[in-house]
Chains A and B, each alone.
Chain A
């Protein structure tokens, strides 16, 4: 199975500041015929289902604010929130959709400092 490891486990950032979450996969999740990394980022607020933010490592889902961005390829990925807003308080998960079983990172809890 592909193991997904996020860092840090929790993060406190001041409003308007940048938040960065890292995700590392135990093997490459690049689909060579498509030349895309099958790495997705989800946001989950308390009591709600996960919400897709970023897919293929760097493509923003429709309707997601442009302060959210994803980067990376192969095994190392980053989710960046450029200017933290109060509504961004949530747990964030990376997920590889390259190989079955699909696996998630353990989650990063983001709070306001």
Chain B
């Protein structure tokens, strides 16, 4: 059963510490998304990769957030330094986007990393 795997599921950290969240996309998918979910803002797109190249990271605070795909099986989202306002659930999703509009498949979501910064 193919699924997106995110680690850790829960993370509590002190303000100022570095946080790294990891995501293993579904094998064969060429697109990876990072979303943040909060009660106030809902689901916000942070970053978007296609074939491991960043296409859009305009939703990320550039001074503290960074997203990378070291290889096709791993995507990372780092926060350094972390702040209490970063507390949220961070979702990774992967999908397969092909050239034809009819083949625009859905995104498959991981279970998320619940981050609490105290």
Q: Do A and B bind each other?
A: no
